[in-house]
Amino acid sequence: MTFLHKRDTEKMRQKPGLLTALIVFLAILGWAFYPKPFDVDVVELHVGNFERTIEESGKTRLRDRYVISAPVGGKLARLTVREGDVVKAGQIVALLWPAPPPLLDERRLQEQREQVAAAEASVARANAGLQKSALVLSQAEADLRRQESLAARGFISPLQIENARLIVHQRQREREVAAQESNAARHQLAQLRIALQRISGNESLAKQAVAVTAPSSGKVVKLRQQSEAVLAAGANLLDVGDPGAIEVIVELLTEDAAQIKPGALATLSNWGVPTALQARVRLVEPSAFTKVSALGVEEQRVNVVLDISSPPAVWETLGDNYKVDVTIPVQSAFKVMLVSVGCLFPLGSRSALFAFDQGRARVNEVTLMARNGREAWINTSLEVGTKVIAYPPASLKDGDRVNMIE
């Protein structure tokens, strides 16, 4: 009995220790699975001026560019003007000579000579026919004179006289046909002989040169053909323009261009000099075009043309086809509630943000008025200086504990 009593006493002493261990284990398990607070960045709502702009890369171009082309096909002499040279209106900038006929091989040359010989024979045959028709006409006229003499004395009838006159008239027409055939044969012979001719001698070339002149005063901005070459009519030779008359063209999406009106101010930057240039929109072209982006997406874009309004001395180093970054303001507001765009997230059809409230995240709906790349203009009941969570995690919910990162 004494032994059993001691075992019961030891079991009773072990129960409080097991209970304590179980409580500690459950506490550790609860602590491990208890949701930890989110570490978040916070910013403050503030009042400021809002501006929404359209930013796009553009390029410069000459306002009036004259592309000089060859008026006729021929051989171009090497151009003596260079890019950057100043030319005046009417100044000769290029010389063109008629292109020489193509060289003939021996077989083709012999064929041409045989064709000339055949044409000469045709001329001789036509001349012989002309002489024959002249003799026949002379014989018919002599017969008519004899018959008219006999008719006057009453030896032949008037019908025979009429037949003789018809014969003379017929022989005259035959002679005219023979003369036309002879003339055609001579022209054909001259045409074949021209095909065998060669243009030789600098004097003959100089007399036949065609001078190409500049249509306007300016500088040569681009040479499209400098070396001597044989060109077709209409081939471009060089570009002339005034480097001081430069405009900027930028291709904007149609939904952005619809917000821009002529006269709008713009800023030009990143053109090689730290100084930003001021510009003004002169024209929004009425017709758009399709352009494929770098990602292969078809976009509808429209050209917007701007004039530089800064003093020319500031941008005298800016040339044709230079790259510039264009910034055009399209919306502005003063002393409005602003917040970083990274604080907003969609909530149904509206926008919302998380306010930092004593270690808890509280969802607040706001009215988004406008936004740019950095800030958003909102209407909200929150006060200025309220701390809001920037770039909230996707799993963050209303009422979750948050820890502000210093």
- Per-residue pLDDT tens digits for 136-190: 888 888 888 888 887 777 777 778 878 888 888 888 888 888 889 888 888 888 8
Give backbone dihedrals phi and psi of 103, rounded to 5 degrees, phi first: -70, 145
Q: Could you tell me if residue 395 is inside a domain?
A: yes
Give backbone dihedrals phi and psi of 100, rounded to 5 degrees, phi first: -65, 155
Q: Could you tell me if residue 220 is inside a domain?
A: yes
Residues 112 and 91 in one domain: no
Q: CB of 70 within 8 A of CB of 235?
A: yes
CA distances for 347 relative to 360, 368, 378, angstroms: 19, 12, 15
Q: Could you tell me if residue 172 is inside a domain?
A: yes
Query: Could you tell me which of 87, 94, 82, 65 has the C-alpha nearest to residue 223?
Result: 82
Residues 88 and 220 in one domain: yes
Residues 93 and 173 in one domain: no
Residues 81 and 226 in one domain: yes
Q: Could you tell me if residue 300 is inside a domain?
A: no
Q: Could you tell me if residue 28 is inside a domain?
A: no
- Per-residue pLDDT tens digits for 247-278: 999 999 999 999 999 999 999 999 988 889 99
Q: How many domains does the chain have?
A: 3
Report the sign of the C-alpha dihedral through residues 72, 78, 82, 86, in that order.
Answer: negative
3-state class of 88 per DSSP?
A: coil
Q: CATH no. for residue 403?
A: 2.40.420.20
What count of residues does the chain have? 406
Map 151-199 to HEC letters. Answer: HHCCCCCHHHHHHHHHHHHHHHHHHHHHHHHHHHHHHHHHHHHHHCCCC
pLDDT per residue of the chain (406 residues) written in tens, 0 to 9: 554 455 555 555 555 666 676 676 666 665 555 567 888 899 999 999 999 989 999 999 999 899 999 998 888 889 889 988 899 998 999 998 877 666 666 787 788 788 888 888 988 988 888 888 888 888 888 888 888 887 777 777 778 878 888 888 888 888 888 889 888 888 888 888 877 765 434 444 445 788 899 988 888 989 998 888 888 888 999 999 888 889 999 999 999 999 999 999 999 999 988 889 999 999 999 999 999 988 889 999 999 999 999 998 899 888 889 999 999 998 889 999 999 999 999 988 899 999 998 888 999 999 999 888 889 999 998 999 999 999 998 888 888 888 888 6
Residues 267 and 365 in one domain: yes
Q: Could you tell me if residue 401 is inside a domain?
A: yes
DSSP H or E segment with residue 251: strand 246-253
Q: Could you tell me if residue 42 is inside a domain?
A: yes
3-state class of 217 per DSSP?
A: coil
Q: CB of 375 within 8 A of CB of 45?
A: no
Residues 273 and 380 in one domain: yes
Place of tokens 């045709």: 122
Range of the domain at 391: 35-60+260-279+311-406
Residues 77 and 221 in one domain: yes
Residues 155 and 265 in one domain: no
Q: CATH no. for residue 232?
A: 2.40.50.100
Residues 275 and 401 in one domain: yes
Q: Could you tell me if residue 14 is inside a domain?
A: no
Residues 6+ apart with CB under 8 A from 102: none
Distance between CA atoms of 266 and 278, rounded to whole angstroms? 6
Residues 175 and 116 in one domain: yes
Q: pTM for the whole thing?
A: 0.61
Residues 75 and 129 in one domain: no
Residues 88 and 68 in one domain: yes
